Structure formats: structure tokens, C-alpha cells
Amino acid sequence: MNVASLSEAAAERFGDYRALWFEGRWYSSGELHRSTQVLSGGLRHLGVTPGDRVVVSMMNCPEVGVTYGGLWRAGAAVVPVLFLLTAEELRHILRDSGAVAVVTTPELLAKVREAAGDVAGVRHIIVVDGATSPDMREVNFAEVASGSPDPAIHDAAPDDVAVVFYTSGTTGNPKGVLLSHANLLAMAENAQATHSFGDGQVGLACLPLAHAYGISAALASSYTRGTGVMMRWFDAGEALRLIEEFRVTITALVPTMMVFLLAHPEAATRDTSSLAHVISGGAALPLEVQRDFEKHFGCTVLQGYGLSESAAQCSMNTPDANRTGSVGRPVHGVEVAIVGEDGRRLPAGELGEIVIRGDNVMLGYHRMGLESAQAVSEGWLHTGDVGRLDEDGFLYVVDRKKDLIIRGGFNILPRDVEEVLHQHPAVAQAAVIGVPDPAMGEHVRAYVVLNGTAASPDELLAFCRGRLAAYKCPSSLVVAPSLPINAIGKVLKKELRAQLAAESAG
């Protein structure tokens, strides 16, 4: 069992065809497949052995997929790292993961050198398309991938680690999520069984391949013969141009990307009529954003739900079963339940914690036994998200348990307030947090980013008062130029709390 078998099977099933466009060049499926075979042999020759961990720190490019495939074929585990991390953050991951090598690009090399400088376990720094220093650890990617194709695929056990995702830290310090080959294969198979869009699709790949959501979308595409158009990094104007030029039919986005696409001046002039389906995930999708996006682009938005700990797959709306406001039914092979504080299952319609069971659930957290046992109990992954199931089995994600605001004994879900703020025509983004209050326990504080239309805090607060119960209304509201977000657009509420604490202390 090895997740690399997906690309092997695709090569046999579909043959050689024009598979990927990236920055002016086409790559054939045969070329990419052969490159993974060559690289796996080069990695073995370099001393990478089954079970080794290798950090991959790159922006999107074809070499990212080739590197993942080459490492998996050699039996090594991939440790994807967002290129935005600081040297200090990268150093922590190198040490914590026990990485033996790093694969990176010239523009990130200085940071990688700084991070790996005193990490003795890092034996090699492999640089894509760039000169290396006299440092004996550095080697050019082209040299490693210059031999003959190696057809061998390491026979991994189902629970052998295939990837270590370091969480974005939206609720605390990053943890290393251990996903096995069986987890990734289940994720890809579940996605295919749940919704098959068929051959001939043209997909825009703009999610970072260092994130579980991006890898999920890439692996799921192994089952169809389609064309990919890859972006190094998301840019709304460039995305609109590529949709028009290549007649893109499907893409996966996060809600923030949708907001940027809607707000871009070229959204009114580019021909995006080919776009039929958009898969949304990574963060909560405001209803107003979904409605505006579908109306403007004439496409269907299919919202899904997942997290790194579930190999990015839990539930998904499909073209023939799409319920606005929900994140769909559980994908094939995954069971979802809602439980109360006592751990008992709750009936349809009642709010509780979302728990998940299936072959996609992680092995655990790297070197964090207690946290692993708390997260996964008797096969059930406790997500920390609050939600409900309706009578037809559609899942609705309401909020994070840790974000719940308790004001004067009343529970307030931040998303309830955020949805109302999104209804105001001037609001592009909104985030709500609880602020300590000596009398009430907490009060509600809102942050909004405007879309170019003027609106004062008083106007927005009055808007809320007309649509929310008094106890839910924000006591204060800040109009901000931007909100702190992670690489896939999820608002980092802990940073908003930290900013507020710093202001209060000052």
C-alpha cells in the first residue's frame, strides 16, 4: 500500500496527455510521472530511506508534486511547509519532525539556511533551479533527479506515515498531524466515490500544495483525465485571466478567495462563463458571499468540511445534493455524529460537537500522546467544532467550541453575528470575538473589512441591533484595513485577541 500507487494507476489508465500548464509551459502526464520515478531513485541514492521525514518548503510549482511523489515512492514521509513561515517557525518544524532533508527554491534558500543552520539532523538541502553554496549539505534538484527512472514503489504498511501536516495554529501552537498512506488513499477514494466530475474537466489549482486542502484536491484528481492550470500563488486578477484563457470548468477555493474575486475590477469584464463548479472549504462560507458569487459567476458553489486531522475530508455537497448553508452529507466511507458534553449522540437539529469516524482519521499528533488520546477516542475524532445534522443527514458547522462567547449566562455563536454583518452591503469580511467583561463575563467585539463602500461603526452597530437579540449585539466594532488570516484564508482570531490584549496592556 502506497499513496504513490494513485499516479501509477493513472499513468496506466490514461496514458500520456497534456496534463498541466504552469507559467507558460505545458507538462505531459508522462513527463511528470517519469520525473517522480527518476527523483525517487535519486533520493534513494542520496540516502533517503523509508520512514525518513523530508520538509518541502516551496510555492506551488510542478516540482512540488514531483517531490511528493518521489518521496512517497521511496517510502519517506512528506512534511509540507508553507513558504510564508519565518526561519524560527521553520526551525521548530525541522527539529520537531526529525527531518533529514529540505527541498526548497532559490527565493527561500536564505531562510532555509538560517533555519537549518544548527539542526544537526538535516543532512541535505535540495534546491530547485538554483545555485548551491559550498555547504556540503546543499545539492541541486536537477542533480538528484538526473538518473534513470526507478519503477520501484516502497511497499508501505497501511499505518506508515505518509505526510506530517503542521496545523496553522488558529487555536494554539502548531501540532504535527500524522496521516498514513491508508488515510490519504481513503481520502482520495472517498472523494471520488462521493462526487465524480468526469474526464475532460479543466481545473484551476490555486490552493497551496503545502496545505491539506490543496493536497486533497490534487490527489482526488488522480481518478480522472483532466487538465490542470496551476498558479504559483493566488492572485484574483490572474485567476480571472486564467479562467477566461483556459476555459476553466472547476476550481477549489476558500471563502476569502471568493471575496477577492468578487471585488476585483476585472470580474465584470472577463469571460468566466465556463466555470461550472467551485468547491469551497478551509473556512466558514458566509451565506451572502455564496449567493453573490453564484449570482455573479453563474456557477454552483459546493461547500465542504474537513480538517487536517481528517485528511481534509468529512462532508461535501454534490451537484445533485446541494443544500445552501450546509457543508453537505458525510463523504463515502466517513461517519459523522453530533455529541453533547456527556459524549452521548444528539438527535437531528440539536447543537453539539462534531465527531468523525473513518479510514481518513489521523494516526495522531507527532510526539503528543495526551493530545492524541484527547482528540481521537474509540476511533472518533473530536473536532472541537460545533454543529448540527438535519433530518436528511446534511451537516451544518456553526462555530468553534473555543470561540463560543458567554455573556451574562447566554451562549453566543460568533458566526451568528458574522452572518448578520455580512448582510450589510458595505462589509467584505467580518470576525467576532469575546472580550473579558467584569460584569457580564464577556462582551461581543466585531471586526469588519469594508468592500470600498463607506460605513461607520455606529451604522454597522445599528444594523446589528435591528437584526439580532440584544445580548448578541456587539458592544464594540472596529473597521480594520484587513484581518489576520492564515495561508488559506481562515481568520486567526487568536491574533485579534492578542492585539486587543496588547492594546489593553498599553
Query: What CATH number should be reported for the domain holding residue 75?
Result: 3.40.50.980
> 429 in a domain, yes or no?
yes
In the chain, how many domains are there? Answer: 3
CATH number for the domain including 479? 3.30.300.30
Residues 316, 188 within the same domain = yes
Looking at the fold, whether 353 and 454 belong to one and the same domain comes out as: no
- What's the pLDDT at 238? 99
128, 148: one domain: yes
C-alpha cell at 444: 461581543
pLDDT tens for residues 204-217? Answer: 999 999 999 889 88
Query: Residue 196's pLDDT is what?
Result: 67
Same domain (yes/no): 279, 366: yes
Residues 363 and 322 occupy one common structural domain: yes
Same domain, 30 and 152: yes
Residues 326 and 394: beta-carbon distance below 8 Å: yes
- Distance, CA of 210 to CA of 213 (rounded, Å): 9
Query: Are 387 and 359 contacting, i.e. CB atoms less than 8 angstroms apart?
Result: no
72 touches 162 (CB < 8 A): yes
Q: Which residue has the higher pLDDT, 358 or 469?
A: 358
Report the percent of the chain where pLDDT is more than 90.
Answer: 81
Confidence check: pLDDT of 225 > 80: yes
**How much is the average pLDDT of 261-268?**
96
Average pLDDT estimate for 476-493:
91
Residue 197, pLDDT score:
72
Q: Choose the weakest-confidence range: 184-198, 222-236, 441-455.
A: 184-198
- Same domain, residue pair 146 and 243: no
Does some domain include residue 24?
yes
Put simply, whether the predicted model's pTM sits higher than 0.75 gets the answer yes
65 and 77 together in one domain: yes
Q: Confirm whether 418 is domain-assigned.
A: yes
* 140 membership: H or E segment, kind and range: strand 138-140
Confidence of residue 363 (pLDDT cuts 50, 70, 90): very high
175 belongs to a structural domain: no
Report the C-alpha gap between 176 and 196 in whole angstroms. Answer: 31
- Mark which of 333, 367, 400 sits at the end of a domain: 400
Same-domain pairing of 414 and 448: yes
What pLDDT score was predicted for residue 21?
98
Shortest CA distance to 84 belongs to which of 57, 109, 65? 57
Domain boundary among 375, 400, 425: 400
DSSP 8-state assignment for residue 259: H
Q: Is the pLDDT of residue 105 over 70?
A: yes
The reply to whether 498 and 458 lie within a common domain is yes
DSSP 144-210: HT-S----------TTSEEEEEEP--SSSS--EEEEEHHHHHHHHHHHHHH----TT-EEEE-S-TT
The reply to whether 88 falls in a domain is yes
pLDDT score recorded for residue 170:
47
Domain boundaries, position 60: 5-11+18-156
Confidence band, pLDDT 50/70/90 cuts, at residue 175: very high
**Can you give the pLDDT at residue 169?**
53
Q: Does residue 115 sit in the same domain as residue 219?
A: no
147 and 212 belong to one structural domain: no
Cα 299 to Cα 274: distance, rounded to the nearest angstrom: 9
- Cα distances (Å, whole numbers) of residue 108 to 57, 130, 197, 206: 8, 11, 36, 20
Q: In this structure, is residue 167 part of a structural domain?
A: no
Q: Which three cell numbers stand for residue 202?
A: 479543466
Alpha helices in 360-506 (DSSP H): 369-375, 414-422, 457-465, 493-505
Does residue 270 lie within any of the structural domains? yes
Residue 177 resides in a domain: no
Confidence label for 490 from pLDDT (cuts 50, 70 and 90)? confident
| CATH classification at residue 249 | 3.40.50.12780
The SS3 of residue 52 is coil
Q: How confident is the model at residue 504 (pLDDT cuts 50, 70, 90)?
A: confident
Domain boundary among 339, 374, 400: 400
The cell for 384 is: 472541537
Q: 269-315, pLDDT tens digit by residue?
A: 999 999 999 999 988 899 999 999 999 999 999 999 999 999 998 99
